[in-house]
Amino acid sequence: MASIHKLLTGTCLHRNFLKPRAALHPFVGIHSADCSSSNPQKQVAPADRGSQQRKTEEGMQKHHHQEAAVDVTSPDKKPELSFDKAIRDEAMEHFRRLKDEIVAHMIGPEGRPLQEVLMEQARVVWQFRKKEDLDKWIVTSDKTIGGRSEIFLKLSKNNQSALLYGTLSSEAPQDGESSQSGYCAMISRIPRGAFERKLSYDWSQFNTLYLRVRGDGRPWMVNIKQDTEFIQRKSQMYSYFMFTRGGPYWQEVKIPFSKFFYSNHGRIRDDQRPLIVDKISSIGFTLADKVDGPFFLEIDFIGVFTDPAHTEEFAYEKSALISRLIK
């Protein structure tokens, strides 16, 4: 009987030490929850109770530290890296993308029915609603040649447009070679398919470039590059002007593809040729009006559409003699 009485008393004390007394009886008091009150012959001294509680808490903390030590990874152990696994995963990802391209091509562009695509009159190619939309573009300036112009691209406050802003400086770099400077540009990245293949945009069923912008009154050069050669020359492009009105109101800019003129290294070529709109690789915007100071251009979307009233095929004279001389 004595051993049973000691076992019951020890169990009650251990249970009381593990639970906070103030949480059990916040109004009655700490000593009112003592199980030893039912056994007046076996009273525990307050000092002994405090020392035993401290030992119990130290034991719990030691046990907690042991569990934490088990979960912590040793700094000497490094995660296993498998070069073969990385190559295999990369190849599987490219094959998955290739399969998606084939399926999309059989069903229709972007998974839509082919007849629906052929009947559409307008298409939004780029819009700016999230950070991933900005990642499709590159901004550059004359800083690449030592100039002082700066350009930045970010989303607007309401995440409904892109804000292109910066400072234009026509001060030539002090390198002893360059005599002109002062340009900022925004260029779309060339789309890539499986195995990093270059893709292109097919706008053959449209005849007009369509933009919704809001600027500060500066003129911008709109540049389109076509991918029709095995080795695409970076200096060759088609260009036309976009004049912003300034002010708080949006404006819709419509530029027919027939108005774009052929240029090389920023100079208009004598041998003009129409833009081939079924092999478009990228589009860009360049500011180089030689007016120093801040600028901004806000873009809602960039797309293409069909204008039934526009029947012009090419706005510039094509000379067969000039073409033969140049070739």
Q: How many residues does the chain have?
A: 327
- Helix, coil or strand: residue 113: coil
> What is the distance between the alpha carbons of residues 87 and 71, in angstroms, rounded to a whole number?
31
> Is pLDDT above 70 for 116?
no
User: In the prediction, which pLDDT does 8 show?
Assistant: 44
- Asked if 133 and 253 touch (Cβ cutoff 8 Å), the reply is no
Residues 140-145, mean pLDDT to the nearest whole number:
92
Segment 6-29, tens digit of pLDDT: 444 554 444 444 444 444 444 444
Residues 82-93, mean pLDDT to the nearest whole number:
81
User: In the prediction, which pLDDT does 24 show?
Assistant: 41
> What is the distance between the alpha carbons of residues 198 and 241, in angstroms, rounded to a whole number?
27
Q: In the chain, what are the domain boundaries? A: 2-71, 85-119, 122-309
Q: What is the fold of 122-309?
A: Jelly Rolls (2.60.120)
> Is pLDDT above 70 for 37?
no
User: In the prediction, which pLDDT does 94 show?
Assistant: 78
* CB contact set of 90 (below 8 Å; sequence gap of 6+): none
Which is nearest to 211 in space by CA: 300, 281, 298, 275? 300
* CB contact set of 84 (below 8 Å; sequence gap of 6+): none
Segment 260-298, tens digit of pLDDT: 999 887 788 888 989 989 989 999 999 999 999 999 999
What is the DSSP code (8-state) at residue 131? H
Q: Which residues pair with 253 in a beta bridge?
A: 211
| CA 182, chain centre distance (Å) | 28
